Structure 1
Amino acid sequence: MLRSLHLRDFKAFADQSIPLSPMTALIGANGAGKSTVLQALGLFRALTSQTVAQYLETEEWDFDDLPHLRTQSKSFEIAARVELNGASADWSLVLRNGKPPGIEAETVRRFAAGSLVGGTGEAILDRHGDLIERLDESSGESEEIRLALPMSVMGSVDPEDLLSPAHPTLRALRRWADGIRPYLFLDPRKMRTSSRGATDDIGTSGDDLASFVHHLRRNREVGFQSLLRRVQRYYPRLSDIETSQRGPGWTTLEVRERWGESEATFNARQVSDGLLRLIAIAAFHELPRPPSLILLDEFENGLHPHLVGAVVEMLQELVDSSDGRTQVVFTTHSPLTLNHIRDGSQVLVVHRRPEEGTAMVTPLDETRGFDELRNAFDLGELWYNVGEEQLLSPEGEDV
């Protein structure tokens, strides 16, 4: 599980450590930097399979837009502390502009269980330019390699090579990175379209939802019935979720609903945005390879207020049932969403330092007067009624 993220000179963040819970909600004004946190987390997955240049092209970004503009830096760093089988590891990537842009440095340090905060840990990987030093954990000896890699060293690690005892920490980190799922925008328009082929995922925008449900129903009936019951709990009119084949291999989604004594079937074009999103999020529970980290951006868009709580409950159930294997980080602008969050420590306020505009992160339960206010308000009511300016103002200072 990801315990913390550190950003240095990345977009609006100058030097910020961000604590993360099994389920974390990011709140704040437009432009505060919430989506930047999701983008940084997505980089760990992307750079195990893509070069920096390929990633920039995919995202339609220019590297010059990524380093913190107020520092005039040509590089930035993202670092994650990940809990791995009782121990933990710090994985850091420093990206720098160039021709082409690439990874300037990469380090992995392992910390035994119970290590003191602030310790240096054991160096597992140390990369500077094309010089890579890697520790063989079975023998305790280090090897040096000169290799010009256009992506993370993790891209060269086989996560399933269980026969070799040399690099268990790197394998575990690679598996964690591979398990990151950036469902940043579950797009109802794409969920309504046909998809084809067997798939073990719904697609980053939900574009493979129809194929996933079709494959699940044909091959794992128990999993399909679990998905159906999960949606029915919050949408009781739903009788069934069906798929139909149109053309060679193309699959479309249909739903059957009860209306009085009769039933009606609706094709995906007729299904509401909210129900499609509910089905997609219920499908997370049935993914054959549980994600390590699910990233969602404002999932409440298009949802009836009644269904917002349903989605939060589904996500919390997913986290609770995973025994630490799956984590969720999402952004929201909805006070109603926060009302369904268990604890203030799960909510991070992303805001800007007034003097220079640098992005900062403050846990909601560490804001001004939180303990007293929490006795009177649900989390969303507290955020909406008191306001960020008051919550983030120094003690003794009125706003």
Structure 2
Amino acid sequence: MLTNFKIDNFKSLTDFSLPGDESSLGKFVCLIGLNGAGKSTVLQAVDFVSQLVIGDVSKWLSSRGWERSDLVGKGSKKRNINFSMHFLVEGIGDLTWVGSYNSQQGRCTKEELSFVPFPSLKDDGFFPTRSVVFNFESGVIRDNAGWRRDVGDYTGSVFNKFKAPSSGANRNDVVAIYLLRYVLRGVKSLELLSPQLMRRSSKGGGDVGVGGETLAAFVYGLSPQEKEQFFEKLLEFYPRLDSASSKSGKYGWKRFFISERYENSTELDARHVNDGLLRIAAIIAQTVAKTPPRYDDAKVNPQQRGYQFVLLDEIENGMNPEVVERVVKYLLEVRQQVFVTTHSPLILNYLADDVARKSVFLIYRRKDGSSGATRFFEIKDVADRLELMGPGEAFLDVGLERLGAKLSRS
């Protein structure tokens, strides 16, 4: 689980920190704020940093129509994007990654990866049972046991394709690098979900795609148990559904179909399915899917990816309030850590007060135009209202424009 995230010089995020204090992020994170405050930028920043370890920043930029120069803050003379991420790896230990990405070179010029095992970690000969630190600078990577090695050409992070087994480093220590790859390859952004893309036929994919374009093929490749769970969860949102599945057509192209229990009802393919149902289908499919074990049967998609983090922009898009309430309750129960943005005060009403206090962050613009973050219900004006109102009513009553202006002056 990501517990702390800091980044500097990424678009409007200058010296930005989430949660912004000494506490930790929870399993559910909800970002609110005015249009242009930087909510979507926070999701983009988390996704961008994860791409450095995946090693496919060029493809990530292309999917958004961006250049590397678009990543740095407008008007900034600095070319480096500095970041840090702290993870709590359940049952194993704390993992911290700090880096500096040069937007002109397209790679990190400095990095530090540190792993601190939990005292209770079993000494099974696999995980390191002592603190491990890897430092990278000036083309040389070192660890705190005295090992060092020159590094050749690379893009993104030095850790993305570093051949740890043949590096000569301690076999147990390099597990820290594998943990970093594991947690960051577990980030799945659904911020670009597009119903038009989800209506397409597709042949294959390890997930639903950047914009949902491989939804049909992905649903088709789920295991029988995952397909059953997928339909059961979708049925909770749309009780009239009689079926929801993907079928294979000519040349292996898959298309998503649904049918509903009405008189004279017929099966509809994705071209005629409403936007909200498609968005929910993509969210459920991605959250029920797990990475299949190597020994799994041939009916399962071998490229299938199971993620540990899901990023969702404007969660309420294309859905009526009753459905959105079910989506929020569903996301509070999934195994993944979830980051969402919203403009709707109703979303906050679907959260218990204790969850809202911990999970909801206001993103606002500071005096210099950069984005700041603070826990919404720890702001005095809002906390006072929460004593008398529900979270959504407090959201409406306080006035985000006035509150943002007040915070920007502080």
User: Is the 8 Å Cα contact of residues 242 and 256 (structure 1) preserved in structure 2?
Assistant: no
Structure 1: stretches of 5+ with no match in the other structure: 115-120
Tell me the percent identity. Answer: 28
For residue 165 of structure 1, what is the aligned residue in structure 2? 172
Following the alignment from structure 1 to structure 2, what is the Cα–Cα distance between the partners of residues 31 and 153? 33
Residue 243 of structure 1 deviates from its aligned partner by: 2.8
Q: 1:104 aligns with which of 105, 109, 112?
A: 109
Show the counterpart of 2:143: 134
- Counterpart of 1:230 in structure 2 is 233
Q: For 2:312, which of 286, 289, 296 is the aligned residue?
A: 296
Distance of aligned partners of 1:282 and 1:55 in 2 relative to their CA distance in 1, 3 Å threshold: closer
| C-alpha distance in 2 between matches for 1:68 and 1:189 | 31
1:249 aligns with 2:240: no
- AA of the residue aligned to 2:387: N
* 1:57 Cα deviation after fit: 4.4
User: Which residue matches 1:117?
Assistant: none
Task: Work out whether 1:363 is the aligned partner of 2:370.
Answer: no
CA separation of 1:380 and 1:155: change in aligned 2, threshold 3 A: same
Shift of 1:390: 4.7
Distance in 2 (CA, whole Å) between partners of 1:239 and 1:51 is 40
1:90 is aligned to 96
Which SS does the other structure have where 2:115 is aligned?
strand
- TM-score normalised according to structure 1 size: 0.85
Give the Å deviation of 1:292.
Answer: 1.7
Instruction: Name the aligned partner's letter for residue 259 of structure 2.
Output: R
- State the alpha-carbon separation in 1 of the partners of residues 283 and 56 from structure 2: 30
Q: Is the 8 A contact 2:31 2:361 kept in 1?
A: yes
Amino acid at match of 2:32: I
d(CA) in 2 for partners of 1:70 and 1:202?
36
Report the CA distance shift for 1:133/1:339 in structure 2 as closer, same or farther (over 3 A): same
How far, CA to CA, are the matches of 1:58 and 1:253 in structure 2?
Answer: 23
Contact 1:38 1:295 in 2 (8 A): yes
- Say if 2:47 is the partner of 1:42: yes
Offset at residue 189 of structure 1 (A): 0.8
Q: CA deviation at 1:56?
A: 4.0
> What's the CA shift string for 1:326-381, capped at 9, x where partnerless?
2111111121222223322201110011x322210011121123333113322222
- In the alignment, the residues of structure 1 paired with residue 98 and residue 187 of structure 2 have an alpha-carbon distance, to the nearest angstrom, of 16
Q: Relative to structure 1, is the Cα distance of residues 93 and 58 closer, same or farther in structure 2, using a 3 angstrom cutoff?
A: farther
**What are the ranges of 5 or more consecutive residues in structure 2 without an aligned counterpart?**
20-24, 120-129, 292-305
Q: Distance in 1 between matches of 2:56 and 2:209?
A: 21
- CA change 1:194–1:62 in 2 (3 A) is closer
Q: SS of 1:147's equivalent?
A: coil
How far 1:311 sits from its partner (Å)?
A: 1.2
**1:131-184 residue CA offsets vs partner (Å, 9 max, x unmatched):** 22235xxxx3432324332221221247999x9423121111110011111111
Q: Which residue of 1 aligns with 2:30?
A: 25
Maintained 8 Å contact 1:22/1:327: yes
CA distance in 2, matches of 1:394, 1:113: 42
Tell me the residue number matched to 1:10: 10
Q: Secondary structure at the match of 1:17?
A: strand
Q: 1:75 to 1:303 in 2, by over 3 A?
A: same
Which residue pairs with 1:310 in the alignment?
326
Q: TM-score, normalised by structure 2?
A: 0.83
**Distance in 2 between the 1:53 and 1:251 partners?**
28
Alpha-carbon distance in structure 2 between the residues aligned to 1:144 and 1:244? 51
Structure 2 letter corresponding to 1:314: Y
Q: How many residues align?
A: 372
Counterpart in 1 of 2:286? Answer: 284
How many Å separate the matches in 2 of 1:193 and 1:10?
Answer: 33
What is the SS of the residue equivalent to 2:189? strand
- The root-mean-square deviation of aligned C-alpha atoms, in Å, is 2.7
Cα gap change, 1:171 to 1:257, in 2 (>3 Å) = same
Tell me, yes or no, if the aligned pair for 2:48 and 2:57 is still in contact at 8 Å. Answer: no
Q: CA deviation at 1:255?
A: 0.6
The answer to which of 41-50 and 56-65 deviates more is 56-65
Question: Secondary structure at the residue paired with 1:274?
Answer: helix
Q: SS where residue 243 of structure 1 aligns?
A: strand
* Counterpart in the other structure of 1:118: none
1:152 paired with 2:154, answer no
Per the TM alignment, residue 70 of structure 1 is displaced from its structure 2 partner at its CA by 5.3
- Specify which structure has the higher proportion of strand: 1
**Structure 1 208/394 Cα, relative in aligned 2: closer, same or farther at 3 Å?**
closer
Alpha-carbon distance between aligned partners in 2 of 1:159 and 1:334, rounded to the nearest angstrom = 46
Aligned ranges 1:155-234 → 2 under 5 Å = 155-157=160-162, 164-197=171-204, 199-216=205-222, 220-234=223-237
Q: Tell me the distance in 1 between the aligned counterparts of 2:358 and 2:184.
A: 25
| 2:347 alignment counterpart | 337
- The alpha-carbon deviation at position 24 of structure 1 amounts to 0.5
> Partner of 1:348 in structure 2?
361
